[in-house]
């Protein structure tokens, strides 16, 4: 004879699911930062991020051989914005003063021996980057102190993109 399922046990399981799932959904970060190989689409890294959260792209400039920090923030679930750049000597492709473009402008500040560029409205859906082979040692440094050295997850010379996506869009993909 077949045994009937215990209705009380099923109700407790259902109640548990109804409590746990919404709690997990509320605890999920709103977005995920992704580092992806451009050619293959291979995901090298992904991590939950909050709106407004900042992270730094740290590297050594190929000409000046000096450190450069580019500070980005998560503007919304699909947009990164460059907030600041810091360096201590001029080199190729490094600003030498304030810039004014059609939809953005920068401020140029000399502060404690460093040049500091403050960006207004420099946004990206994707940030393209050629991983340095010899000097650059590109590293992403996050607000919680964790870091991702790109040479640890791909080869020098590889073309990568980093970008953000809504958390649930990424989970469902």
Q: Where are the domains of the chain?
A: 30-172
pLDDT of residue 36: 97
55 touches 72 (CB < 8 A)? yes
pLDDT of residue 2: 58
Phi, psi of 38 (to 5 degrees): -65, -45
pLDDT of residue 61: 92
Please give the angle made by the CA atoms of 102, 53 and 45, to the nearest 5 degrees.
Answer: 100
Q: How many CA atoms lie within 13 A of 117 on its CB side?
A: 27
Threshold 0.95, pTM exceeds: no
CA dist 51 → 11, 29, 92 (Å): 38, 9, 32
105 touches 98 (CB < 8 A)? yes
pLDDT tens for each residue of the chain, 173 residues long:
556 667 777 776 776 666 665 555 555 678 999 999 999 999 999 999 999 999 999 999 988 899 999 999 999 999 999 999 999 988 777 888 888 888 888 999 999 889 999 999 899 999 999 999 889 999 999 988 999 999 999 999 999 999 999 987 765 55
Specify the DSSP element, H or E, that contains 16: helix 7-27
pLDDT of residue 13: 72
């Amino acid at each position: 004879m077949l045994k009937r399922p215990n209705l009380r046990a099923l109700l407790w399981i259902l109640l548990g699911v109804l409590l746990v799932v919404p709690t997990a959904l509320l605890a999920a970060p709103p977005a995920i930062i992704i580092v992806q190989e451009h050619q293959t689409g291979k995901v090298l890294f992904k991590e939950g991020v909050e709106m407004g959260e900042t992270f730094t792209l740290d590297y050594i400039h190929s000409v000046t051989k000096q450190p450069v920090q580019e500070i980005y923030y998560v503007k919304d679930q699909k947009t990164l914005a460059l907030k600041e750049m810091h360096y201590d000597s001029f080199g190729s492709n490094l600003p030498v003063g304030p810039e004014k473009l059609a939809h953005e402008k920068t401020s140029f500040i000399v502060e404690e021996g460093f040049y500091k560029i403050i960006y207004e409205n420099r946004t990206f859906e994707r940030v393209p980057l050629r991983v340095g082979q010899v000097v650059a040692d590109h590293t992403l440094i996050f607000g919680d102190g964790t870091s991702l050295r790109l040479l640890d997850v791909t080869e020098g010379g590889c073309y990568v993109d980093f970008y953000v996506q809504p958390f649930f869009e990424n989970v469902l993909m």
